[in-house]
Amino acid sequence: MASVTLDHLNKWFGPSVHAVQDVNIHIEDGEFFGLLGPSGSGKTSVLRMLVGLERPTEGSILFDGVPVHNKTPQERNVAMVFEQNALYPHMTARQNISYPLRVRRASSETIARKVAEVATLLNIGALLDRRASQMSGGQQQRVAIARALVRDPNLLCLDEPIAHLDTLLRARLRGELKRLQRALGTTSVIVTHDPIEAMTMTDRLAVMRDGRLQQVGSADEIHNRPVNAFVAQFFGLHSMNVFTVDSCVDQGDHIAGRVGGQPARLPRTLERFLNIGRRTASIGARPSGVMVLRAADTAPAVEGFTATGQVYVTEQLGDAQLVTVQIADQSIQTLTPDPRAFEIDEPVRVFIPDDALFLFDDKTQQTRRFASRTAGDELAAIRSEVA
Amino acid sequence: MSAATRAPRLPPRAKLRTEELVGSAVRHAILIVLVILCLAPIVWLLITAFKPYGELFSSPPTLFPIHPTLVNFAGGWSVGGGRGIRDSLIVATSSTVLCLILGFPAAYALARRFSAHGQLSFTILSLRMLPPIVPVIGFYLMFQKLHLYDTYIGLIIAYTFMNLPLVIWLLAEFIRQIPRSYEDAARIDGAPWFWMFRDILLPLSAPGIMTAAILSMMFAWNEFLFSLVLTGDNVITLPKALADFFLFQEPNWGQLGAIGIVAMGPLLVLSYLMQRYLIRSFTAELGGR
């Protein structure tokens, strides 16, 4: 086990592809760390440099403060679980798991003992004499994790280990992996494009985009205080709504603006964040913070954003519904516990309370104001509304 | 239950219309003619091999030997057949082994470092498309100078030259199908290059290697032109041993038939093996899932 430091890490593929750009991360000993990003964001390149499959073009990687970026994977004593084709197909599970030990020329007693240990740990004792083709996807992944753990690695790397499994199994393995990591205390890094995986499993995570680190922090921090519109939209159960309000004019008790030509009203509190000279605001709100109202409904007695539009589509999610409202050329999603059925093209009003509003710089997309309401508050709000 | 009630239950196939019947008959007739055309020479060879000398030219010819004999096999073996089989085995096996030893690393490099649609892969394969008569003159002149004329080593080199491009191309295509993550996993598991090669790459490539080996063996076994030009009395491969029957006198057709039949044996076995491996090399054996 070790702490891991990435120091000004850069990776170029050829002269034109700058896949990883000046990444600095420190991962604590025993931490479960997530690398999250869309495909092509450089997260897998970072992982491949961590395990030693790729060499950094610039910068260094340190385990417990000792540079390792010129060392082989074996010298680093790292392990990795791949997304697919993780097991050697011509070997049984037992041969797969024992391979790293056989390479290290461990004695046959040691091999038998270690294999039995991890097999018990991962509950795969019954699978040991099967080949990959005789196991389900989830079983294969469990054996792959056993092969990774059998050598007591300094660092365990997981490259989308459960991404291709079906939903139920994924949910179960998420929990299993988290418990396993806690129990063993092995420093672990998981690469994923799925915010839910990153949120639920890791202690801290980094969001990457186009080879650059966007934000590092706990799931709560990133969810409640995203540094820019990209992180806000990418991270979360549902993507954050980000839309543009232009022609903003201070009307004394509120700010009047337009969303794609449609009149809109913004709370006065945003005034000091607005760059009035440009009169354009980039507004964000999580779907759970947005309310959808019919003409007959009374507006809540709090300050907030309002605009009118039409229902584009509704999606039933069981205990809530996702209503997409089209306001001129922009669309806003709302997650509402409101059980009423909305018709397609029905005229509605969108209301976002002031405490759920994010404000982004309309040029740089950096966050200028965070919503004061947090994820916990939102859930509480939804529950109280349902009650 | 009466026949009348059962009649409508007959499958519709029973009521073939006339044109369908005629069509079917014509198709079968064409197929039968084709099969006869293909098999007749082989069948005649087989019959000839078992006929005693006196019966060969009996008029009218007999379809089956009246006094079947094995004397042609014994005679054929001693007049050059045995020698031919030995020399062919030496040359074909050696050149195949050499092709695989040289071809596998080349194929690996080609598969992992170059694009599948690149010029290099095609250029290598195009060497195989040369008419054999083109390189054979160069080989003849070179081998005279290098004292490789009429030697096993010379012929092995020539066959390796001819078969290597195909072996490389085939193996490269096969290795491309093997996901890289197996090699990555082996590196992370700490396997040195040789272990990775022996424990992971070689077993996973086995069907491809078998296919390449069988094809290379077949080409070398059947090859005639190179052995005709590049060897004399010292190395006599099977095709040349057969051809030698026609050189001096009226050939002994019975012995010729016997050697021909024996020469086909290994090919039949190889063809059978190849079918199995060709199928395996393109099916699920690999993916693991």
Q: Is B193 on the interface with A (CB under 8 A)?
A: no
* Confidence at residue B97, expressed as pLDDT on a 0 to 100 scale: 96
Whether A325 contacts A250, CB under 8 Å:
no
Q: Is A137 on the interface with B (CB under 8 A)?
A: yes
Laid out side by side, the sheet with A66-67 consists of A17-27, A4-13, A58-63, A66-67
* Confidence at residue A66, expressed as pLDDT on a 0 to 100 scale: 94
Per-residue pLDDT tens over the stretch B228-245: 899 988 888 988 888 887
Show the tokens assigned to B51: 């006929």
Q: Is A155 on the interface with B (CB under 8 A)?
A: no
Residue B4 reports pLDDT greater than 60: no
Domain identity same for A88 and A216: yes
* Confidence at residue A387, expressed as pLDDT on a 0 to 100 scale: 42
Q: What CATH number has the domain bearing residue A75? A: 3.40.50.300
* Confidence at residue A386, expressed as pLDDT on a 0 to 100 scale: 45
Has residue A45 been placed in a domain?
yes
Tell me which chain B residues have a C-beta less than 8 angstroms from the C-beta of A52.
187-188
Q: Is A40 on the interface with B (CB under 8 A)?
A: no
Is the pTM higher than 0.80? The answer reads no
CA distance B130 to B90: 25
Tell me which chain A residues have a C-beta less than 8 angstroms from the C-beta of B287.
85, 89, 133
Name the more confident of A320 and B7: A320
Residue B141 reports pLDDT greater than 90: yes
Domain identity same for A245 and A347: yes
Residue A206 Cα, gap to closest chain B Cα (Å): 24
Cα angle, residue B191 at apex, residues B188 and B192 outer, rounded to 5°: 120
- From the number of C-beta atoms within 10 Å of its C-beta (0-12, 13-18, 19+), residue B278 rates as middle
Out of A53, A72, A79, whose CB is closest to B184?
A53
Q: Domain B77-281, what architecture?
A: Orthogonal Bundle (1.10)
Domain identity same for A216 and A246: no
* Confidence at residue B3, expressed as pLDDT on a 0 to 100 scale: 46
Domain identity same for A219 and A253: no
3-state class (DSSP) for residue A74: helix
Residue A81 Cα, gap to closest chain B Cα (Å): 8
* Confidence at residue B1, expressed as pLDDT on a 0 to 100 scale: 43
CA distance B109 to B175: 10
Q: Which of A342-351, B107-116, B138-147 has the lowest mean pLDDT?
A: B107-116
Domain identity same for A256 and A365: yes
Domain identity same for A82 and A179: yes
Supply the DSSP string of A277-313, one letter for each residue: TTT-EEEEE-GGG-EEE-TTSPPPSS-EEEEEEEEEE
Provide block-wise average pLDDT over 10 residues at a time, chain A (387 residues): 91 92 95 94 94 94 93 92 87 94 93 93 91 89 92 93 86 88 93 90 94 93 93 90 88 86 87 70 90 82 88 88 91 86 90 90 87 64 48
Interface test with B, best of A48, A85, A98 (most B CBs within 10 A): A85
Beta bridge partners of A246: A258
Domain identity same for A217 and A258: no
Domain identity same for A254 and A111: no
E strand or H helix that includes residue A195: helix A195-201
CA distance A69 to A5: 11
Q: What CATH number has the domain bearing residue A340? A: 2.40.50.140
* Confidence at residue B287, expressed as pLDDT on a 0 to 100 scale: 42
CB pairs under 8 A between A and B: 74
Interchain pair A51, B188: CB under 8 A: yes
Domain identity same for A159 and A41: yes
Supply the DSSP string of chain B, one letter for each residue: --HHHHGGGS-GGGS--HHHHHHHHHHHHHHHHHHHHHHHHHHHHHHHHTS-GGGTT-SSPPSS-SS--SHHHHHHIIIIIHHHHHHHHHHHHHHHHHHHHHHHHHHHHHHHHS-TTSHHHHHHHHHHTS-THHHHHHHHHHHHHHT-TTSHHHHHHHHHHHHHHHHHHHHHHHHHTS-HHHHHHHHHTT--HHHIIIIIIHHHHHHHHHHHHHHHHHHHHH--HHHHHH--SS---HHHHHHHTTTSSS--HHHHHHHHHHHHHHHHHHHHHHHHHHHHHTSTTTT--
Residue A73 Cα, gap to closest chain B Cα (Å): 5
Whether A191 contacts A160, CB under 8 Å:
yes
* Helix and strand counts by DSSP (H, E) for chain A: 10, 21
Residue A376 Cα, gap to closest chain B Cα (Å): 41
Has residue A197 been placed in a domain?
yes
* Confidence at residue B173, expressed as pLDDT on a 0 to 100 scale: 87
Has residue A232 been placed in a domain?
no
Closest CA to B235 of B92, B58, B129, B91: B91
Has residue A348 been placed in a domain?
yes
Out of B185, B200, B203, whose CB is closest to A82?
B185
Residue B248 Cα, gap to closest chain A Cα (Å): 56
Percentage of residues in chain B with pLDDT exceeding 90?
34
Has residue A193 been placed in a domain?
yes
Domain identity same for A179 and A274: no
Interface test with B, best of A87, A90, A140 (most B CBs within 10 A): A90
Out of A86, A90, A140, whose CB is closest to B185?
A86
Per-residue pLDDT tens over the stretch A133-172: 899 888 999 999 999 999 999 999 999 988 888 888 888 8
What's at B30, amino acid-wise?
I
Q: How many domains would you assign to chain A?
A: 2
* Confidence at residue A240, expressed as pLDDT on a 0 to 100 scale: 93
Interface test with B, best of A48, A88, A101, A143 (most B CBs within 10 A): A88
Alpha-carbon distance values, A131 to A127, A149, B86, B195, B196 (Å): 8, 19, 42, 20, 19
CA distance A202 to A34: 6
Boundary of a domain, candidates A175, A192, A225? A225
Residue B92 reports pLDDT greater than 90: yes
Residue A143 Cα, gap to closest chain B Cα (Å): 13
Interchain pair B190, A147: CB under 8 A: no
Domain identity same for A95 and A47: yes
Q: Which of A4-13, A272-281, B67-76, B259-268 has the lowest mean pLDDT?
A: A272-281
Q: How far does chain B reach from its first CA to its final CA, in angstroms?
A: 53
Residue B115 reports pLDDT greater than 90: no
Interchain pair B181, A86: CB under 8 A: yes
Interchain pair A137, B289: CB under 8 A: yes
Tell me which chain B residue has its CA closest to the CA of residue A84: B181
Interchain pair A133, B191: CB under 8 A: no
Residue A8 Cα, gap to closest chain B Cα (Å): 24
Confidence of residue B10 (pLDDT cuts 50, 70, 90): low
Residue A147 Cα, gap to closest chain B Cα (Å): 9
Out of A89, A103, A131, whose CB is closest to B189?
A103
Tell me which chain B residues have a C-beta less than 8 angstroms from the C-beta of A78.
188
Let me know how long chain A is. Answer: 387
Name the more confident of A19 and B55: A19
Whether B186 contacts B196, CB under 8 Å:
yes
3-state class (DSSP) for residue A368: strand
Domain identity same for A32 and A158: yes
Has residue A233 been placed in a domain?
no
Has residue A358 been placed in a domain?
yes
Out of A84, A100, A133, whose CB is closest to B189?
A100
Q: Is A103 on the interface with B (CB under 8 A)?
A: yes
Has residue A303 been placed in a domain?
yes
Work out the average pLDDT over B209-220: 89
Domain span holding position A158: 4-225
Domains in chain B: boundaries: 19-69, 77-281
Q: Which of A210-224, A274-288, B31-45, B196-210 has the lowest mean pLDDT?
A: A274-288
* Confidence at residue B116, expressed as pLDDT on a 0 to 100 scale: 66
Interchain pair A132, B179: CB under 8 A: no
